[in-house]
Structure 1
Amino acid sequence: MKLAMESLCETHTAIKTLITELELPVTEWDAKWIDVYLDITVKLLDICIAFSSEISRLSQGHLFLQCALHKLECNTSEKLMRACSSLDSWRQHIGSKNPRLGNCKSILDSLVDSLTLPKVKNSAKGKVLMRAMYGVKVQTVFVCSVFASAFSVDSENLLDLDVPSTISWAQAYSDLQTTVNGEIREVFSRGKFTFLKELDEVDAAVNNLYPMVQDGMRPTEMKAFRSSFSDLGGRAEKLSQVLDVLAKEVDGFFKIVLSGRDALLCNLRVSDTVADPFPGNSGEQVRG
């Protein structure tokens, strides 16, 4: 997921570079192109906020694990009860639903509606730009649908896009989409509560340790307890680290989308100023 988001950031940075190199004035952009672009960027910012919210929610669960591990350092009946309570709280927290993710499906569906390959007349540069932006949109929708599915544990968020065979990379994309979506659906068919490997490993460690904490440890179980305690601590820390990295990648993508949107709006304002250097004059001559 980290590499996928990195790739998305690189692609959106590349499209900004392409726009600059094409030297296509904003005044020559069709108004519909601009409206569609601005609408898409708003939706991407919304979906980034949803992803960041879920990553933050998962990271907050780390506090319950830290609390449990801290109490388990003291092997007393009172501490074991409190540790058990903390582990219960972690389970409830991780198993709860994030309402922000509920909007992802409608956002993704609206992004799919914008995936038409536009026809451009009398502008070679415009054709290059529109074909490039089509590729960017396909990649963006694909990655975001995978993220939404992984975070929500809902295969309904997976999208199977049809790319026209006239596109040179259509078959390669189709193969990738079939493989990735197929693997995700297979994981969900096994009843997994999460698609995140590191989170799944923490859950397994909690399930292994929980019975020992709940029932009280016998002397013969101390070696197994210490091993499970150490295993949970290591896996919890790894999960916390990968969530931090993923949060930075999503935030980086958010900033790239936002900066691209701001740059276009800035260019539009400059273009309007150039087109009408004396706004509000109503065509009257300016006297010296």
Structure 2
Amino acid sequence: MSRPQDAKRSFFPFGNPFRMISAKGTKNSPQLLLVLHAFEATLEERLKKLIPKSKDEILNLSWMTLAMQTLCESHNDIKTLITELELPVSDWDEKWIDVYFDISVKLLDICNAFSSELSRLSRGHLLLQCVLHNLGSSSSEQYVRACSSLDGWKQHIGSGNPRIDKCGSILDDLLGSLDLPKVKKSAKGKVLMQAMYGVKVQTVFVCSVFAAAFSGSTKNMSVLDVADIYSWASTFKGLQNLVNEQIRVRLSGGRFTVLNELEEVNSSLKELSPIIQGVVDTIETEPLVKIVRELGRATEKLSQGLDLLSKEVDSFFHVVLTGRNALLSNLRSGGTGIDSILEGNRDAQKVN
């Protein structure tokens, strides 16, 4: 990992159920190994989907939407694996429950940060529509309004987002959760921990890429060192190297943003700005018509991409939130008396 962490904590809501499963020294049965291999093969296929055919396909909104889709699928697969392995939760230790609530809130927080940035970008889209609307007329007054909307877009898009700035500390906590807990007495526990590790790596990678893309900074970009013992390690390393390198190249090259759709909009605006600022009481010129047409296409592409990605981020938020609710339901039905734990996490459950 790129940043060493002091806190080594569990990442998913499954506590420490392994002490009650089987005797010390239990080895994985052939059936359990088949379950694990199938899980990891599916994980590797999802990682392969994120390897683009060309570098231009990296870090567009379609790629980010696919990345979030695969993340939702992997988290749902963990839930299914829990059911298949029949791991009970009734005897979980209070400290593990408390850790889960803490970490799951961080996942919800980072989802909220991403959603807030997508909403901010969507609000900027309204300013672009104003630019296009005002350029539909050849009057100098409309050009002045277009210039005003253009200035508003530049200010809005360059204002930054404090919630994205806070993603770094959240990612630090997620990085600190990657270490596998030692499981000595449970074959099922070992299978679950290895499966969970793969999903944890996928989660930190996707979240760090999103944070870097939205912030326009490499400081939130993580480099995860995955051991070669995992069947999906080579695929993951290739994906991570490709994506991280593109982020570095784009940011070091002076690009306005690493996101392709935003860069396309900005390129059109760069061409448009000097033209409309120099036009006074004149009809539309051919260069202006062409650039306005290109800006319209780029603006529509940006809007559609933001809408689709927002839906997938909301879906991931729902996956995490339903996991919390399912754990609460299981604990209450088991009569474990978790009121004192819940009281300490009451504020954390109120996620904006």
Instruction: Kindly provide the amino acid, as one letter, of the partner of residue 206 in structure 2.
Output: V
Q: Take 1:160 and 1:186, find their aligned partners in 2: how far apart are those partners? A: 16
5+ unaligned residues in a row in structure 2: which ranges? 1-63, 339-352
Q: Do structure 1's residue 245 and structure 2's residue 308 form an aligned pair?
A: yes
Say which structure, 1 or 2, has more relative contact order (CA 8 Å, 6+ apart). 2
Structure that is richer in helix per residue = 1
Map of 1:263 onto structure 2? 326
For the Cα contact (< 8 Å) 2:138–2:284, is it kept in 1? no
Q: Take 2:160 and 2:297, find their aligned partners in 1: how far apart are those partners? A: 26
Identical counterparts, % of pairs: 61
Q: Take 1:210 and 1:60, find their aligned partners in 2: how far apart are those partners? A: 20
Map of 1:13 onto structure 2? 76
| SS of residue matched to 2:214 | helix
The 3 A distance-change label for structure 1 pair 106 and 94 is same
Deviation at 1:168, TM superposition (A): 2.8
For the Cα contact (< 8 Å) 2:261–2:302, is it kept in 1? yes
What is the aligned counterpart of 2:275 among 195, 198, 212? 212
Instruction: Kindly provide the amino acid, as one letter, of the partner of residue 23 in structure 1.
Output: E
Deviation at 1:74, TM superposition (A): 1.5
For the Cα contact (< 8 Å) 1:206–1:232, is it kept in 2? yes
Map of 1:232 onto structure 2? 295
Map of 2:212 onto structure 1? 149
Q: Take 2:243 and 2:96, find their aligned partners in 1: how far apart are those partners? A: 31
Q: Take 2:280 and 2:101, find their aligned partners in 1: how far apart are those partners? A: 60
The 3 A distance-change label for structure 1 pair 18 and 33 is farther
Q: Take 1:175 and 1:28, find their aligned partners in 2: how far apart are those partners? A: 41
For the Cα contact (< 8 Å) 1:71–1:83, is it kept in 2? yes
| SS of residue matched to 1:27 | coil
What is the aligned counterpart of 1:95 among 146, 158, 174? 158
Q: Do structure 1's residue 161 and structure 2's residue 228 form an aligned pair?
A: no
CA root-mean-square deviation: 1.9
What is the aligned counterpart of 1:73 among 111, 128, 136? 136
Map of 1:282 onto structure 2? none
Instruction: Kindly provide the amino acid, as one letter, of the partner of residue 117 in structure 1.
Output: L
Q: Do structure 1's residue 185 and structure 2's residue 237 form an aligned pair?
A: no
The 3 A distance-change label for structure 1 pair 121 and 34 is farther
Q: Take 1:164 and 1:30, find their aligned partners in 2: how far apart are those partners? A: 30
Q: Take 2:92 and 2:78, find their aligned partners in 1: how far apart are those partners? A: 15
| SS of residue matched to 1:272 | coil
What is the aligned counterpart of 1:86 among 149, 155, 174? 149
Deviation at 1:220, TM superposition (A): 8.8
Instruction: Kindly provide the amino acid, as one letter, of the partner of residue 207 in structure 2.
Output: C
Q: Take 2:292 and 2:231, find their aligned partners in 1: how far apart are those partners? A: 53
What does 1:42-53 correspond to in 2, within 5 Å? 42-53=105-116
Q: Do structure 1's residue 254 and structure 2's residue 317 form an aligned pair?
A: yes
Deviates more, 1:106-115 or 1:226-235: 226-235
For the Cα contact (< 8 Å) 1:51–1:101, is it kept in 2? yes
For the Cα contact (< 8 Å) 1:36–1:114, is it kept in 2? no
Instruction: Kindly provide the amino acid, as one letter, of the partner of residue 117 in structure 2.
Output: E
Map of 1:279 onto structure 2? none
Q: Take 2:118 and 2:323, find their aligned partners in 1: how far apart are those partners? A: 24
Deviates more, 1:18-27 or 1:103-112: 18-27
Map of 2:120 onto structure 1? 57
Instruction: Kindly provide the amino acid, as one letter, of the partner of residue 132 in structure 2.
Output: L
Aligned pair count reads 275
Map of 2:183 onto structure 1? 120
5+ unaligned residues in a row in structure 1: which ranges? 276-288
Give CA-to-partner distance per residue, 1:43-73, whole Å, 9 cap, x none: 1100000000000000101111111111111
TM-score, length-scaled by structure 1 = 0.90
| SS of residue matched to 1:93 | helix
Q: Do structure 1's residue 138 and structure 2's residue 201 form an aligned pair?
A: yes
Deviation at 1:94, TM superposition (A): 0.8
Deviation at 1:33, TM superposition (A): 4.5
Map of 1:281 onto structure 2? none
| SS of residue matched to 2:224 | coil
Deviation at 1:192, TM superposition (A): 1.5
TM-score, length-scaled by structure 2 = 0.74
Instruction: Kindly provide the amino acid, as one letter, of the partner of residue 317 in structure 2.
Output: F
Q: Take 1:219 and 1:82, find their aligned partners in 2: how far apart are those partners? A: 15
Q: Take 1:82 and 1:274, find their aligned partners in 2: how far apart are those partners? A: 63
| Structure ID, larger Rg | 1
Give CA-to-partner distance per residue, 1:135-171, whole Å, 9 cap, x none: 1111100000000000000101110112233333223
Give CA-to-partner distance per residue, 1:79-120, whole Å, 9 cap, x none: 111111101101111111101011100000111111111111
